[in-house]
């Protein structure tokens, strides 16, 4: 599998993602500039990643301007052909703005930027995974009908939990609907999450739980 990491003006986790994939997981990575359009070097077995940051300064809404960049038009076409796409933090916001994923990301319930380790429960492991978050607008929201559909289709991939894996209101850092930290589309090839697995891939940092998330993507594609 080959990875493309899109770089927008204001991306600040693009090199973190490159480092994690290339050096920690030994994968081929191609950096993609937002003004370019060419994805011909990627097959639908490969994966395009939208990294975290503040694309276009978040001056309108997080991800709202990036959604219209030339590269994103190609990413949307790539996803519609069945290609794998992963959005992390700001990348998740962009995927929702592009309508590749349902719902929206709203201001955190406490109206403050949050940067800390949290715990997630979902695919790839039965244990609670410790993964960093860093966002001011990370509160996933959708109407009840959409949430029910996500649940029924197995599209909720990660939920915030405590260190013992209990999904509780106290473990929800931003007020996200139903503790949702990550979702996928109905087809299972587009995935978005607010926490940053690329920041938990190096043993020197004392945490490699992020590898479990990225290796699940490497080994099986995006599946429930």
Task: Report the chain's C-alpha Rg in angstroms.
Answer: 16
- Helical segments of the chain, H only: 14-19, 70-80, 90-97, 144-152, 209-220
Half-sphere exposure of 183 (CA within 13 A, CB side): 34
Pairing of strands 28-33, 156-161: unpaired
To the query of whether residue 89 is one of the catalytic residues in this protein, the response is yes
Is 62 catalytic? The answer is: no
State residue 17 phi and psi, 5-degree precision: -65, -40
- Taking the CA atoms of 156, 184, 176 and 115 in sequence, report the sign of the dihedral they define: positive
Q: Which of 62, 89, 96, 161 is catalytic?
A: 89
The yes-or-no answer on residue 151 being catalytic is no
Q: Where are the alpha helices (DSSP H) in 98-206?
A: 144-152
What beta strand segments (E) does 96-217 contain? Answer: 104-106, 114-122, 125-135, 139-141, 156-161, 180-184, 190-193
Catalytic residues: 89, 196, 198
């Amino acid at each position: 599998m080959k990875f493309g990491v899109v770089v927008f003006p204001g991306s600040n986790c693009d090199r973190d993602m490159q480092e994690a994939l290339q050096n920690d997981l030994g994968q081929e990575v191609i950096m993609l500039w937002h003004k370019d359009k060419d994805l011909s070097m990627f097959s639908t077995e490969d994966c395009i990643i939208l990294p975290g940051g503040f694309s276009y300064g978040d001056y309108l809404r997080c991800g709202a301007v990036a959604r219209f960049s030339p590269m994103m038009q190609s990413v949307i076409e790539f996803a519609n052909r069945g290609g794998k796409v992963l959005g992390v933090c700001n990348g998740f916001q962009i995927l929702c703005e592009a309508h590749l994923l349902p719902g929206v990301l709203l201001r955190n319930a406490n109206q403050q930027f949050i940067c800390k380790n949290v715990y997630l429960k979902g695919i790839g492991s039965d244990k609670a995974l410790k993964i960093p978050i860093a966002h001011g607008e990370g509160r996933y929201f959708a109407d009840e009908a959409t949430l029910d559909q996500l649940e029924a289709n197995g599209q909720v991939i990660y939920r915030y939990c405590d260190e013992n894996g209990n999904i509780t209101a106290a473990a929800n850092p931003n007020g996200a609907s139903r503790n949702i930290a990550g979702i996928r589309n109905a087809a299972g090839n587009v995935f978005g999450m607010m926490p940053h697995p690329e920041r938990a891939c190096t043993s020197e940092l004392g945490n490699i739980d992020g590898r479990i998330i990225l290796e699940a993507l490497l080994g099986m594609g995006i599946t429930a």
